[in-house]
Amino acid sequence: MKTITVSFLLNGKKTSVTSLPNRTLLDVLREDLGLTGAKDACGGEGECGACTVIMNGNPVNSCMIFIGQIEGTQITTIEGLMEKGEFHRLQKSFVEAGAVQCGFCTPGAILTAKTLLDNNPHPTDHEIREGLSGNLCRCTGYNKMIDAIHLAEQGGLDD
């Protein structure tokens, strides 16, 4: 099998990767680029959301994206969410609300929540539950994640 080279914007930086084409974005992030914030919890089947990254503004399961599909895209991983050394308001609100337990689903859940708020700055509980439903969590029962997302959308976080 021949390798391919793809170029894309990763966390705001031009990046190019040479890889066999049958590998996924998740493999490349974790194995080639050392970005291990995206997790594999379901065995690369697109069922758990733990590998969620933002691709062109949308949350995607990076385990379902083959490397050939990322040419020219903009990708944000959890490692790229802080800006100028400042935590994103969702990172703060997840900590503040006690929404982080084991943390394995946290990066994916925060990135999903970011796209949710980008598209709908003040979601209802129902909209949050719909939006988060692709991100499995066994620890929290989701209540505190929903609280965290409200906390972020309503402001009022301590700095």
Partner 1 sequence: MTDRFLTVGKSLHRKDAWDKTTGKALYTADIPIENLRVGMIVRSPHHYARILDIDKKQSLEIPGVLAVLMSDDIPGDKVFGPLIPDQPSLARDVVRHLGEPVVLIIAETKRAAQEAANQIQVSYEPLGAVFDPVQAAREDAPQLHQDGNVITALNIKDGDIEKGFQDADHILDDTYTLPRIHPGYMEPETSLAVWGEDQTITVWVSSQHPFTDQRFIAAALDLPVENVRVKSGVIGGAFGGKEDSSLSILAALGAWAIKGAVRLVNTRRESFIAHPKRHPAQIHYKLGAMSDGTFTALKAEVHMDTGAYASYGPAVAAILTETLAGAYRIPNVQVESFVVYTNSPLSGAMRGFGSPQSHFAVESMVDSMAEEIGMDPVQIRRANILKVGEKMFTGVTLNETANALPICLDKAQEIMDRFRAVEVSPGKKAGVGMALAAQSMGLGANVPDDSTHRLEWAPDGKVLIHLGAPDLGQGLAMAVEQITAEALGLPYSQVESLPLDTLDRPNGNVTCASRMTYMAGNALIDASEKLIQDLLAHAGEILEVPAKMLVYKEGQIIKEDGKKLPVVEFLGRLAEKSITLTSESTFSFPYPEETTPQGLPIGMPHVLYCFGAQVARVEVDPDLGTVEVTHFAAIHDVGKVISQSGVEGQIEGGVATGLGYALYETMLRKDDQWVDSFTEYLLPTSKDLPTHYESIILEIPEASGPYGAKGIGEIPLVPTAPAVANAVKNAVGVRVKKLPITPERVLGFID
DSSP state of 156: -
Counting contacts by CB under 8 A, is residue 55 touching partner 1? no
State which residue, 91 or 115, has the beta carbon closest to partner 1: 91
Secondary structure in 3-state letters for 58-123: EEEEHHHCEHHHHCCCEEECHHHCCECCECCHHHHHHHHCCCCCCCCCHHHHHHHHHHHHHHCCCC
Counting contacts by CB under 8 A, is residue 66 touching partner 1? no
Dihedral (CA of 152, 155, 156, 157) sign? positive
Which member of 77, 114, 117, 152 binds partner 1 (CB under 8 A)?
77
Rounded Cα distance between 147 and 144, Å, is 5
Rounded Cα distance between 46 and 145, Å, is 21
Which member of 25, 38, 55, 152 binds partner 1 (CB under 8 A)?
38
| Count of positions on this chain that bind partner 1 (CB under 8 A) | 58
By CB under 8 A, what part of segment 93-152 binds partner 1? 94-98, 100-107, 110, 125-126, 128-130, 132-146
Query: Which residues are near partner 1 by CB under 8 A?
Result: 30, 34-45, 47-48, 50, 77-79, 81-82, 87, 90-91, 94-98, 100-107, 110, 125-126, 128-130, 132-146
